[in-house]
Structure 1
Amino acid sequence: MREHLGRSCIRVFLTGILWCCLIVAAMAHAALTGAVPADGAVVETPPKSLSLSFSEPVSPLVLRLILPDGQARTLGTFVLRDRVLEIAPPDDLGAGTHVLVWRVVSEDGHPVAGSTVFSIGAPGNVPPVAEGSVDWPVRIALWVARVVSYAGLFFGIGGLFAVRWLIPGGADGLRVIRAATLLGAVATILSLGFQGLDALGAPLSALADRAVWQAGLATRFGLTVMALLAAFCLAFVAPSRAGFAGRAASLVSLVVGSGALALSGHASSAAPQWLMQPAVLVHAITIEVWIGALLPLAYALRRGGDAGRQALGRFSRLIPVCVAVLTVAGLLLAVVQVQQFGALFSTAYGNVLLVKLALLAVLFALVALNRWVFTRSAVRGDRGAARRLGRAIIVETMIVLAIFAVAAAWRFTPPPRALALVAAQPVSTHIHSDKAMAEITLTPGRSGPVQVSAVILSPDFTPLTPKDVTFVFSNPEAGIEPMRRRAVLQADGTWRAVDVVIPLAGQWRVRLDVLISDFELVRLQETVEIAP
């Protein structure tokens, strides 16, 4: 019966890990908010420069221009200005449709890819571009490496700290702790290569390429890897050092390893930085202290005697403090990243968080059972209670591994905070005719109340000051007839309408009625995509 139950638990655990790996889609953490020329634009002459604007700062990895004949040109000359990437195009661009293919890495260390299309002279056949897809071997390898790296950090470095500072009687577990530390270090090194593969969109077979490792190191995750490796090296040194030197090395390793997690990832780019990064540090330290003590405690209980009872008493007094601090730091991180309660159910990040919370609820319930039922009897010398407590610690360890597996899935899911930032970005379109041209911007570029502005110029790019300007919005597919909103000239020369509500998402026709004189009216019309 027990053997059948154990097998069932293992099957459920492995199924849960596989599910966590598959639920995440290929989502971006930074988003393209604008391009010059605009996506789908037709320009009369070859552009002197190309630019891409993003929702947060990025660094370019791959920039290519696909010409009308299908040839690809690598674009190596560019200037990065915070969230805007300005690119120098080739000098000999001809007529036809071109595709600008880009791959960048966002500030939190996650790669983003896409493409924009523009035509010179007149639209032509769109040159073939390889469609981006999820490279599951790379993704799974990166996920597994993250899980093993977490296990090395929390069970290895955390376990060593527990043996040196909290549970000396658990020294019998040093062999397992060292093995976890070694596996964590190897997985951390490999994760750098897998990060490079993901950043460049390269297959797993390219892992040996030097450029792949350089790309991984160039992302913010490279800082995390370097700090983690330093922590693992200190952890290898600590067991061979007696007395204060060994204890100090284990403490520094604990702090450095925890701090490494704050150098990249979602919290590294969230505001306010002075609060978020320390919250990650505290969150990680409490996990290391708590989880790291599980294996030493199990070995101490197996040995029995006064040492085991003392270790159990010390651990039981420490756990409430760890749980309290862990909960406060975790709630702070969750509130900043999720922002709205509904995002827990409507986003992949929120779904992963819900699964993690469910596992934590089970873990906390088991901790409470151990603390208030088994621990008291075990401290009094009840060997049966001590054995049950040892089995409970094994179950806790399995739950913790499942939590690591779920948390590693966050690498592939943008937080609702980032999605909200993208949704708040404006949408722009450029319209031109032989009598006038205009750059129209809707802020934000989603359904609901928006502010609409337009910069109106003559065909030769000189300022044009019409007598009156009116915005007209319509959505024939949704049965919405034209809505007219009069614009007001601002001090900076833009025409703006603030009492505009776009009732639903989709393709909207935006028309600008420009009254140049009492006898001349120019109408400029274009279609824009409004997000939900």
Structure 2
Amino acid sequence: MKLGKRHWALMGALMLLCCLVMPQWASAHAYIVQASPGENELVATAPERLTLEFNESLQTAFFDIKITGPDGTQADDGNVHVDEARPHILETGLRTGLGNGTYAVNWKAVSADGHPIQGAYVFHIGEPSGAPAGLADLTSGSGQVGGPLKWILSLTDWIQYLALSVILGTLALLLFRIAPASMAREPLEVPRSYRVLWISYGAASVAALISLPLNTLYESGVSIGEFSWALMGSALKLTSFGQIWMVQMLIVMLLAVTILSGYDRDRSLRIRIWSSYGSLVLVLGWLFTHAMTGHPAAAEQRALAIAMDFVHLIGAAFWIGALTAMAVCLPPLADKLPSAVRGEVYWTAIRRFTAWGIGAVAALVATGIYSSLIILPAPILTSLFTTAYGLVLIAKVVLLVVMLVLAWRHARMARTGSGNRLAGSLKAELIAGAVVLALAAVLTHLSPGQPAAVGPYKEVQTMDDGTTITLQVSPNRTGENQFKVDVKKPDGSTVNDLEQITLSLTHLDMDMGIYEITIPKNDTGVYEAEEYISMPGRWNIKVHLLTRSLDSLDAEFEIDTANP
């Protein structure tokens, strides 16, 4: 269908507004920006407390810090808390009389966007003593956790997205007169609409109901055997998801009343129509609760990010839901007509839908660009192709393009009025839409800032005199890694007279100080060390070599470390 100038102007204005209000990127998952004592820090005397400062606020439930001493005993005093005045601070006290040695810190928390995170690192009192007892049992690194539960939660979100879309689309078909008015005496008499509303309502309600215990397990990190009503009570009281879930349950009950009232033939048509508009408002409210959870909740401009995500959800839900309603409800209307004019029912509805669909597409494009730019870490193009979040986002965009192509085809068919039934490609458009909603649900539980697995690292740098320095890091993921340095002379022979080999690691995405690794000298020319990398992301490694003749060699490398 040909777009008029005002339609292009509307789409352009929305995207321009999006660009004008675009904030700088803010991570959608919490991470440590400063720790005291810090990563691998050596302190002269035992500190009174350990403090972890995150880039965003934490939720006041399901957090913990455990500190293990050199002999494997507990070194913290158990008083772990989130600072009330500074909710981005997690801290605990340490026991008195701690001796010298290496201490392991194992922490967990729930970020503002509702995703559980955890990590581990070591610090030293007096002199390092090697890995503390039980360190191998600790979770190393820092990042999102959850395992299979996050995929089950993605499924419940998808069911809600799909069911709410169908309810929204069906109500729009009825109330906005997308269905030809001549085919029904009143809007609510469209065949199958009542059944479609109740099936969708039941699916969305069940999915929302079971999401509370599932999310409690997900955020708390406990096993099913440790699950309790008290734990779920804590989720309701102390987490943003729990509070939003209670709002969802209120909407569930009210929505049942308004749907029943809308089809109660003992009431006047005016009351029934207004009840259906009430159902429409409640569905929008339900979608808004989904916009309040997940990545937008952690953005710097939280209100704007949530509003954009809400508009994005509405655009997608209307598009996919209205198509579903037309595919289900229009055939019974058309079958009552002679075959020669049967197609007009479909093409009239599609022409009316296209006018609304232009606005939905404009909203999807503008808000999609906005959300991607505030969630994906810079550089954006790199994040698109190196993170699971970016790859899923690309798949979602590709499917949206497929839907647009199919929608353009259907609009052309509607304009020419060819055929007497809905095109088979409409089913393809619906299937693509259902997959788009599934990918949207998956994105809610994916970390946008975690790099994909990159494998072992190896790079060679050549000095001015022709000497080559090779650095290898394997497996190049958080946890224990093997660092190997090879040095060769210009003639290819191995340099085996190194007196000092030092690696200085600096995280490029957050302030963690400098982590130094000293590799023991030997006469074999093979210089290796086993050390921990505590955080995923980009690290700068400065290699400093000192020969027995006091000549120094220096090189810098940049590695991109992944989660295990």
Tell me if structure 2 keeps the 8 A contact 1:65–1:75. no
Using the size of structure 1 for normalisation, the TM-score is 0.69
| 1:328 lines up with 2:381 in the alignment | no
| 1:148 lines up with 2:156 in the alignment | no
**Alpha carbons of structure 1 residues 127 and 337: separation in structure 2 relative to 1, 3 Å:** same
> What pairs with 1:428-447 in structure 2 (closer than 5 Å)?
428=513
How large is the Cα RMSD of the aligned pairs? 3.6
> What pairs with 1:61-460 in structure 2 (closer than 5 Å)?
61-72=63-74, 75-80=78-83, 81-91=86-96, 93-124=98-129, 125-129=131-135, 130-132=137-139, 136-166=147-177, 167=179, 168=187, 170-212=190-232, 214-215=234-235, 218-242=238-262, 243-303=272-332, 304=334, 305=337, 310-338=348-376, 340-373=380-413, 376-377=416-417, 382-383=419-420, 386=421, 388-389=422-423, 391-416=424-449, 423-428=508-513
**Alpha carbons of structure 1 residues 199 and 105: separation in structure 2 relative to 1, 3 Å:** same
Q: Which amino acid aligns with 1:141?
A: I
**Alpha-carbon offset, residue 413 of structure 1:** 2.8
Tell me if structure 1 keeps the 8 A contact 2:70–2:101. yes
SS where residue 427 of structure 1 aligns? coil
| 1:51 lines up with 2:136 in the alignment | no
Runs of at least 4 residues of structure 1 off by over 6 A? 445-448, 477-480
**Alpha carbons of structure 1 residues 423 and 271: separation in structure 2 relative to 1, 3 Å:** farther
SS where residue 425 of structure 1 aligns? coil
5+ residue gaps, structure 1, are: 1-26, 432-444, 449-472, 484-501, 508-528
**Alpha carbons of structure 1 residues 39 and 424: separation in structure 2 relative to 1, 3 Å:** closer
Per-residue deviation, residues 240-298 of structure 1 (Å, max 9, x unmatched): 12424313312321331232132121122223334322211211222222222123212
SS where residue 399 of structure 1 aligns? helix
Distance 2:394 2:114 in 1: 24
Distance 1:302 1:394 in 2: 14
Partner residue, 1:40: 40
**Alpha carbons of structure 1 residues 281 and 348: separation in structure 2 relative to 1, 3 Å:** same
Tell me if structure 1 keeps the 8 A contact 2:35–2:512. no
SS where residue 406 of structure 1 aligns? helix
Per-residue deviation, residues 137-166 of structure 1 (Å, max 9, x unmatched): 323322212211222222234434543444
Q: Which amino acid aligns with 2:72?
A: G
Tell me if structure 1 keeps the 8 A contact 2:44–2:125. yes
**Alpha-carbon offset, residue 310 of structure 1:** 4.8
**Alpha-carbon offset, residue 225 of structure 1:** 2.9
**Alpha-carbon offset, residue 447 of structure 1:** 6.8
Partner residue, 1:505: 558
Tell me if structure 2 keeps the 8 A contact 1:170–1:298. no
SS where residue 557 of structure 2 aligns? coil
Distance 1:141 1:223 in 2: 21
SS where residue 513 of structure 2 aligns? strand
Distance 1:43 1:132 in 2: 23
Deviates more, 1:294-303 or 1:169-178: 169-178
SS where residue 293 of structure 2 aligns? coil
Distance 1:478 1:159 in 2: 74
Distance 2:110 2:36 in 1: 20
5+ residue gaps, structure 2, are: 1-26, 180-186, 263-271, 338-343, 453-506, 517-536
Tell me if structure 2 keeps the 8 A contact 1:196–1:217. no
Q: Which amino acid aligns with 2:245?
A: V
Match of 1:476 among 541, 544, 555: 544
- Higher normalized helix content (fraction of residues): 1
**Alpha carbons of structure 1 residues 264 and 135: separation in structure 2 relative to 1, 3 Å:** closer
Q: Which amino acid aligns with 2:512?
A: V
Distance 2:165 2:321 in 1: 5
Tell me if structure 2 keeps the 8 A contact 1:161–1:247. no
**Alpha-carbon offset, residue 51 of structure 1:** 0.6
Tell me if structure 2 keeps the 8 A contact 1:162–1:292. no
Tell me if structure 2 keeps the 8 A contact 1:162–1:296. yes
Per-residue deviation, residues 395-421 of structure 1 (Å, max 9, x unmatched): 2222122112212222343335999xx
Tell me if structure 2 keeps the 8 A contact 1:46–1:120. yes
Tell me if structure 1 keeps the 8 A contact 2:37–2:123. yes
Q: Which amino acid aligns with 2:120?
A: S
Distance 1:232 1:179 in 2: 13
Distance 1:364 1:217 in 2: 43
Distance 1:51 1:424 in 2: 20
Distance 1:93 1:86 in 2: 18
Distance 1:295 1:195 in 2: 30
Distance 2:112 2:546 in 1: 38
Tell me if structure 1 keeps the 8 A contact 2:508–2:539. no
Tell me if structure 2 keeps the 8 A contact 1:344–1:354. yes
Q: Which amino acid aligns with 1:326?
A: L
Question: How many residue pairs were aligned?
Answer: 418
Distance 2:413 2:219 in 1: 50
Q: Which amino acid aligns with 1:404?
A: L
Distance 2:289 2:44 in 1: 51
Distance 1:126 1:363 in 2: 56
Tell me if structure 2 keeps the 8 A contact 1:170–1:297. no
SS where residue 505 of structure 1 aligns? strand
Tell me if structure 2 keeps the 8 A contact 1:195–1:216. no
SS where residue 163 of structure 1 aligns? helix
**Alpha-carbon offset, residue 353 of structure 1:** 0.9
SS where residue 65 of structure 1 aligns? strand
**Alpha carbons of structure 1 residues 159 and 482: separation in structure 2 relative to 1, 3 Å:** farther
**Alpha carbons of structure 1 residues 42 and 336: separation in structure 2 relative to 1, 3 Å:** closer
Tell me if structure 2 keeps the 8 A contact 1:78–1:88. no
Q: Which amino acid aligns with 1:336?
A: I
SS where residue 256 of structure 2 aligns? helix
**Alpha carbons of structure 1 residues 35 and 505: separation in structure 2 relative to 1, 3 Å:** same
**Alpha-carbon offset, residue 71 of structure 1:** 4.3
Partner residue, 1:14: none
Distance 2:542 2:430 in 1: 59
